[in-house]
Amino acid sequence: NAGVTQTPKFQVLKTGQSMTLQCAQDMNHNSMYWYRQDPGMGLRLIYYSASEGTTDKGEVPNGYNVSRLNKREFSLRLESAAPSQTSVYFCASSELGRLGSFGPGTRLTVT
């Protein structure tokens, strides 16, 4: 039982490049989330998916897209990376409003 896994752990991108952050959970949770963490700003919700096949915008969705590929996987895509997207990204999952687990995070730097 691995919980929530994320790849990659670290990434450096040039402005304008694209990439996809992958997240998977093996706890059979319905809800999955993507957050970004910036100093002094806590965790801000980018997108979430309440169930397979649905996605909704969070607090800071601009510049991102998501895909809930199946119940296990929820990916976050940056189509054209910008320096303002330099952050640590966390994926999480939960069931019935009780937060389950967080992934280890992806540290992204955009130059």
Partner 1 sequence: GEDVEQSLFLSVREGDSSVINCTYTDSSSTYLYWYKQEPGAGLQLLTYIFSNMDMKQDQRLTVLLNKKDKHLSLRIADTQTGDSAIYFCAESNGDKLIFGTGTRLQVFP
Indicate the residue among 17 and 37 with the shorter CB distance to partner 1: 37
- Asked if the peptide bond before residue 8 counts as cis, ω within 30 degrees of 0, the response is yes
Is residue 64 a contact residue for partner 1 (CB under 8 A)?
A: no
Q: How far is the CB of 72 from partner 1 (least distance, A)?
A: 17
By CB under 8 A, tell whether 48 contacts partner 1: yes
Cβ neighbours around 70 below 10 Å, total: 10
Q: Does 90 bind partner 1 (CB under 8 A)?
A: yes
Q: How many residues contact partner 1, by CB under 8 A? A: 25
Q: Which pair of tokens denotes residue 40? A: 């002094």
Q: Give the C-alpha separation, 94 to 72, whole Å.
A: 12
Name the residue type at position 110. Answer: V
Q: Any contact of residue 47 with partner 1 (CB under 8 A)?
A: no
Question: Where on the chain is the footprint of partner 1 (CB under 8 A)?
Answer: 31, 33, 35, 40-45, 48, 50, 56, 58-59, 90, 92, 94, 97-99, 101-105
